[in-house]
Chains A and B, each alone.
Chain A
Amino acid sequence: MMEIINSKHWIEWLLIVAKFAFAFVPVLFILLLIPMERRGAGFIQDRQGPNRSYFWLPYFGRIRLFGWVQNACDGLKLFTKEIYAPSGVNKILFALAPAIPFVIVLISPCVIPWFAPMVFTMGDQVVRVSGNTVDSEVGILLLFGLSSLSAYGAVLAGWASKSKYSLLGGLRTSAMTISYEVCLGLSIMGMLLMVGSFRIDDIIAWQEAHVWGIVAQPIAFFCFLISMIAETGRAPFDVAEGEPELVAGFHTEYGAMQFGLFYMGEYSHIGINSILVACLFLGGYSVPFFSQTTIQANMGYSLAVLCGVFILLILTFLHMIYRYSRWYKTSAATNKTVILREYSLYKLLGWVAIPALAVIGIASALFIHPEFTLVDGKAVYGLGIALGTALIQILVLLVKACFFCFVWIWVRWTLPRFRYDHVMNLGWKVILNIALVNLVITAVVAKLVLGGN
């Protein structure tokens, strides 16, 4: 026991335990995705989207947070509803099924690297902490395997519900998962061939050294994205819960938080898949135009730039707030004073945050000058620099993932649902073949040009 504990530095143990918190990142994506989906859908359809729910603050009155409070209201409603099962269902499986997608969602991010492996000196020891919870040689295969397990939730729900609609929905889900897992695996093979490794860390390192995967393998990227959307079972591939035919598909008989778990499982699945696409094709945590060594050597300036980006975003936000305020002042709205009072809170927060960030940025640019020691001819910095780099890299990864979250919503509210046989046609006859041809061409080119082994 003591040998195991002593085999690693205490700070390494601490970071390893802390990394478990990343399991909850896809769950946090739900908080982002629900308002993004509902208001995004509203905007795409020229509506306003849900923006009425609010909480109350003493001076500022009703705080609506642009529809973000709707999350809490939805959740509260689902939690307080009665859980019931129709008679004749398989009780155990019926209760178990909604938990499966959600549990999978907590497990599967374990192989996603959130930051480049940290290498830093602690005292006179060099500590290396990998960016993912499980540093596996077959990371991406593990992730595919785990995320395809979430189909069990739908299948078991369909089987246990004792409803024809649910059963058909479950069947369709299993068929979809089988067909699109193949496309998913094959479309990524070209990328893996060039990298020569299944580790997501290596894939990102290759992209950092060469070009982003979306440039190297554009066709694979589209195949992968389409398969991913199909695998999450979202529109236009949501035949498993197609309302016109199957009421609500596999979760027809579910209500309350059991339905909520399916819902949350679906959204966090989108979160994981967005992170995965960002990792495989958009360089993952690698900062565009700056290498990791540059960032580490100029940590103070990097943090200053980060603060500058935040200030720019807050200024944009404030500009929008001021524009809305001006419009509300001239409009004939009867709730003018309430809205303007609410906006005054955002203005206050924005104008407090900007000087604070400016001070932090300037201070970091002036005072952070990292010292390094040479280890095997490479500059290795201390713990603070390693944590700062990790912070920047996590933020970059999350920004890329958020973009893909938007793509999911964007596609859903643009394209109509495919008919079931069209989905199968597209999967087996189009995407699979494109992925195979792409793989062959990549293999030939990689052998001839890159001179692989």
Chain B
Amino acid sequence: MTAAQVLFYLLAAFTVALALMVVLAQNIVRAAVALIFSFCGLAGLYLLLDAEFLAAVQVLIYVGGITILLLFAILLTSRIAGKGVRVLNEQKLLSGLVAVVLVVLLGAAVRRGFPALAARPPQPENTPAIGELLMTTYALPFEAVSILLLVGMVGAIYLARKEPR
């Protein structure tokens, strides 16, 4: 095994173990903390794929932004320790079914392989390339996403503002 493979399996095991902790933890704050480390492991996997921009953005957005907001909301809403909040629900059969279907689908996809994702010659820098593609080839999806975010923002402001008397 090469060093990259060893690193991959270590990172993959780390990410999956913490993702399991997110689902199985009885305490909601612990689940959120495990989610943070799971995202960090994912960023490590991106680094192994030479996608350094994606890795940095993963940490910045998901760890530094979204999970912090999540923790903030948990600390604001539930009691101080977050204990006594029900984390798991009773629909075990349904969730098991969904999980099995997901595993089958993903397994089938992996078995078929991803021909579009064939290895390309490594680029010295992919950040400018991503920027260029976003502004030229994928300008329309990029703009669509910005409109989606704008709509989300307007909705959040509408929900959060005080009712006019």
Question: Are A and B physically bound partners?
Answer: no
State the A residues within 8 Å of B (CB). Answer: none
